[in-house]
Chain A
């Protein structure tokens, strides 16, 4: 079956760095997405990786290793507004998005 694993919840301190991991086992791979979702709101697109390596976008970076079935989202200089759930999703061989359950990130002052 298809499976995406990410931690349920993480806590970090304002100003610090946090890494949210995602491991996947899917039928085929056409890319991996990270979305941010604030409580009660819609998910919003953060990043897309299809090649191995690190993609940096401001305070957020996303890394992919296809051989290991692994990705992480790195958030630097954490701000209180980064408190949200972070969703990992993989585009499979049928171009269907398979979603992880999400990681709730709590930022403390």
Chain B
């Protein structure tokens, strides 16, 4: 089974801190995604990557950046955390050739910014 691992399940950070959320997948998937999920809004795409060193902005990239130095790891960075970034963050991966198999998600990181 594909496994997508997010480094933290719960995180509390202070306003202004730089925050790193890590995501690792073990099935050699080309595509990786970062979403945030808020009640009533569904999943919103922050950034995605189709290959190493490659990144594309999603629908809500402001206040975030990403890094993909290795195929299996995709990091989300909050440059200066703000309270409106309190949310559930979900990482996902998928193979490029088998997109119809859908995405596999990590268990999520619930981030609270105080």
Q: List chain A positions with a Cβ less than 8 A from chain B.
A: 8, 30-31, 33, 35, 40-45, 48, 50, 87, 89, 91, 95-97, 99-102
Closest to B6 in A: A42
Give 1 or 0 for each of B30-51: 1 = CB within 8 Å of chain A CB.
0000000000111111000000
When chains A and B are docked, how far (Å) is the Cα of A45 from the Cα of B2? Answer: 12
Contacting residue for A45 out of B43, B102, B106, CB 8 A: B102
Give 1 or 0 for each of B75-114: 1 = CB within 8 Å of chain A CB.
0000000000000001000000001111111111010000
A48 touches B100 (CB 8 A): yes
B40 touches A41 (CB 8 A): no
With most chain A CB atoms within 10 A of its CB, the pick from B90, B101, B102, B106 is: B102
Majority SS at the chain A contact face: loop
CB neighbours (8 Å) of B41 from chain A are: 101
CB neighbours (8 Å) of B108 from chain A are: 40-42
B40 touches A101 (CB 8 A): yes
When chains A and B are docked, how far (Å) is the Cα of A100 from the Cα of B44? Answer: 10
